[in-house]
Structure 1
Amino acid sequence: MSVLSGKKILLGITAGIAAYKTANLVRLFIKLDADVKVIMTPASKDFITPLTLSTLSKNPVHSTFYDKEDENELWNNHVDLGLWADYFLVAPATANTLSKMANGVCDNLLLATYLSAKCPVYFAPAMDLDMYKHPSTKASLHKLQSFGNSIIPATSGELASGLIGEGRMAEPEDIVSFIEKDILSKLPLKGKKVLITAGPTYEAIDPVRFIGNHSSGKMGFALANEAANLGAEVFLISGPSQQQIKNSLVHRINVVSADEMYNVTHLYFKDVDIAILSAAVADYKPKNIANQKIKKDSSSLTMQLEPTKDILASLGLIKEKQFLVGFALETNNEIENAKSKIKRKNLDAIVLNSLQDKGAGFATNTNKITIIDKNLNEKPFELKSKTEVAKDIINEIISKLDA
């Protein structure tokens, strides 16, 4: 899955012959599951039609602040457009538009949106050879980069004038690749390996029955997705769960029992930088597993249980460079019990959620947590979706790694 999947991309098109390439550019972004909106300068419509771009993007194309022919038409709010975008790309970026961007000239919707944007801005210059080499253009390019904008360099080739040289807009495939690589290089977990456990474990009683719990795995899968979105290579060790994840940086390893999760977790732990154990591992398992289905011969059944291996504590004993995070689901004396686990299991942090809190715990789409670090500092969070909770947890870990 591309790092652009699910991202909101605002594409600004200016009046250069290379505008014809933007149809393919929009198609490539859509193919990567990005949401695309297009702003055109009025003159750019001479090179490619808004109908083509709206059809490909599945969104209306904007070029003016309002439709002069429709008195009831609401204005196109440049502030809303700028705040909507995760990334803003101006391609092609003509010498005229580059100069206006560099000097704060604001005479059309595209430029007003650029000045309102809070997201990373990329621009792909496109113009003739002499224009590209002109000192004023070079000054604009330098100035825009000093503002924090990213240039996608023009390439050399045959230009619209018939000359051959530098000034040709990068090809759509190369523009997309440039943006993907640039985003990945700036992600805070780029180059990190993260191990995450998720879901329940099932401890067999006989060939058809087991001891389990109500964990859905939603929290662990949300953590895996968030870590991958921030550039980490993730090893997701999951007990039986219906949750799905589509991310090329997430390697899912399915297990069933606590013993299987113990063995697989130890297999990967030595090579990771961060380990987050969010799985609801069974504390006990049947001492003896029946080879055949146990028949209902009496009104009661007595079963002898024995403790499962404590995966978290075992990792705490052998950890070296790893940042180790545990989870604690408590029903009483929550803070005291969680702090006790930090010390006993040699953790760097623990995520506490209480079944006393409405909306927290198993099989819900929300969670309410308190993160406690190894110095026993507490940081409570409000009730949020598990996706947002995952972001809070990962951000806290990153802040500790950078401290």
Structure 2
Amino acid sequence: MTRSAPAPDMIRFDWDFAPPTPSSMGDHDVPLASDRLQGRRIALLVTGGIAAMKTPELARGLRRHGAEVVAFASDDALRYVAREALEWATCHPVVSHLTWAAEHLSDGTPFDAYLVAPATHNTMAKMAAGIADTVVTSALASALGRMEQGRTQILVAPTMHGTLHNSVLERNARQLHALGVRFVAPRDAYGKHNLPDTELLCVAVGRALSRSALRGRRILVTAGPTPVPIDGVRRILNRFRGRLGALVAEELVWRGADAELLLGDGAWRPKAPVPTTIARSYDDYRDLCLDRVRQGLFAGVFSAGVADYRPRAPVAGKIASGQPALHLELVPTEKVIDLACAADPAMHCVAFKYLEQVSTDELLAVARRRLGRASLVVATRGAETRGEEQRAHLLTAEAERTVDGKAPIARAIADHLERLAEAPV
């Protein structure tokens, strides 16, 4: 009897005893998500909190972005996570005690960043007081010296029960922060400071190591549809879901920008740890855009599929179903990108143009007319967009080029904004 293959997205609860799909990956390999931490050495300092059990996944998460990871673990930490699990995850021996090699100094192979995760109340207190009585606190004492010399970054991810959050903890944290130590905001749940998700910690490391001119720059990225109501239940929206805009926002966040994704309400939500605000309707989108612009932005990346028309008079409640025909009078909406640019002429603007059933030359001719107020126009034809695949034509006053793939397009947009940030005022 031939067993039929399951549908690709089918959820199965019962195993049919089929073998796994063959793979070329070795047991210790990780699938690369990006190369953003390529060539970076990260010291993962594990202290004696229950969240230490999650650190093998954290180590592999850092490796998924290209980092080399070495774990330092206290005796208490090794009560909650096995040495073998950390060594399997990092592909390095765990440093759990000091020898003649002075592992805490790491002179021959210095670290680009030290990530203390989880960081207990005790470790933070010792770190602030300059106590170096364990392998972790000794490594941190040396790391503080390196940090003060501009040779490394230190990140701390506090995890503890809510009763341990007291004035002593805050005093120690503020003292360390004043020295330059970065604190990753814990996940707030169940009255505790919990370890953040792995990807958020990876992004925090990337932001700390970024040398981009976009660091600290406020940038708004808009994406997705902007629904317009027909009545209290029904809405008109387009098929755009904001995947490219989300990738742009993610790229900017990794580079250290204070980027916010303004995502129109649709059927998709990004998984990346990007500050995201949902615009429930066209009116909501317009008002949120203008609010952010008036607060001051370095740049606006306007990739949202903004509604061009709206019903003249939405119906309160719900239009009765079963009618033989329903006639809607649609009127044009305001051009939000024009309103935003007028609200702050100093804001750098990235505009998008999407057309269907046109040639490349016709698309480029339309896109060129957007140049001027927009320093970059990203133009796409419907025939060159299929699902997650996309070809875009990037136009500036100086040049035009074609980029294939959403991730490369996102990087190209971030590169453009980076060049603007580097330009002399």
TM-score normalised by L of structure 2: 0.58
Structure 2 vs 1, CA of residues 38 and 53 (structure 1 numbering), >3 Å: closer, same or farther? farther
Q: Distance in 2 between matches of 1:123 and 1:209?
A: 51
Gaps of 5+ in 1: 14-20, 41-47, 64-90, 102-113, 115-119, 125-152, 161-166
Counterpart in the other structure of 2:415:
395
**1:5, 1:34 within 8 Å by CA — same for their partners in 2?**
no
Q: Which amino acid aligns with 1:339?
A: R
Q: Which amino acid aligns with 1:380?
A: T
Partner secondary structure for residue 383 of structure 2: coil
Counterpart in the other structure of 1:34:
62
Structure 2 vs 1, CA of residues 342 and 258 (structure 1 numbering), >3 Å: closer, same or farther? farther
Percent pairwise identity: 19
**1:28, 1:173 within 8 Å by CA — same for their partners in 2?**
no
**1:54, 1:61 within 8 Å by CA — same for their partners in 2?**
no
Counterpart in the other structure of 2:26:
none
**1:29, 1:176 within 8 Å by CA — same for their partners in 2?**
no
Cα RMSD (Å) of the superposition? 4.2
Match of 2:253 among 193, 206, 228: 228
Gaps of 5+ in 2: 1-33, 72-77, 115-126, 145-153, 157-180, 183-204
Cα deviation code 1:215-269 (max 9, x no counterpart): 111111111111111111122211113213453xx43221122222111100011
Counterpart in the other structure of 2:277:
253
Q: Which amino acid aligns with 1:341?
A: R
Structure 2 vs 1, CA of residues 391 and 92 (structure 1 numbering), >3 Å: closer, same or farther? farther
- Mapped pair 1:350 → 2:377: yes
Structure 2 vs 1, CA of residues 402 and 92 (structure 1 numbering), >3 Å: closer, same or farther? farther
- Mapped pair 1:183 → 2:199: no
Structure number with larger C-alpha Rg: 1
**1:197, 1:236 within 8 Å by CA — same for their partners in 2?**
yes
**1:225, 1:245 within 8 Å by CA — same for their partners in 2?**
no
TM-score normalised by L of structure 1: 0.61
**1:197, 1:220 within 8 Å by CA — same for their partners in 2?**
yes
- Mapped pair 1:291 → 2:354: no
**2:210, 2:254 within 8 Å by CA — same for their partners in 1?**
no
Q: Following superposition of structure 1 onto structure 2, how do residues 3-402 of structure 1 map, counting pairs within 5 Å?
A: 24=47, 30-31=57-58, 33-35=61-63, 53-59=83-89, 61=91, 94=101, 101=108, 121-122=111-112, 168-170=138-140, 175-177=154-156, 180=205, 183-184=208-209, 186-241=211-266, 242-247=268-273, 250-270=274-294, 271-296=296-321, 298-331=323-356, 332=358, 333-343=362-372, 346-359=373-386, 364-373=387-396, 375=397, 377-381=399-403, 383-384=404-405, 386-402=406-422
For these two proteins, the number of residue pairs brought into alignment is: 294
Q: Distance in 2 between matches of 1:321 and 1:210?
A: 35
Counterpart in the other structure of 1:137:
none
Structure 2 vs 1, CA of residues 192 and 12 (structure 1 numbering), >3 Å: closer, same or farther? closer
Counterpart in the other structure of 2:123:
none
Structure 2 vs 1, CA of residues 93 and 11 (structure 1 numbering), >3 Å: closer, same or farther? farther
Partner secondary structure for residue 112 of structure 2: strand
Partner secondary structure for residue 390 of structure 1: helix
Cα deviation code 1:146-165 (max 9, x no counterpart): xxxxxxx9x965679xxxxx
Q: Distance in 1 between matches of 2:300 and 2:263?
A: 14
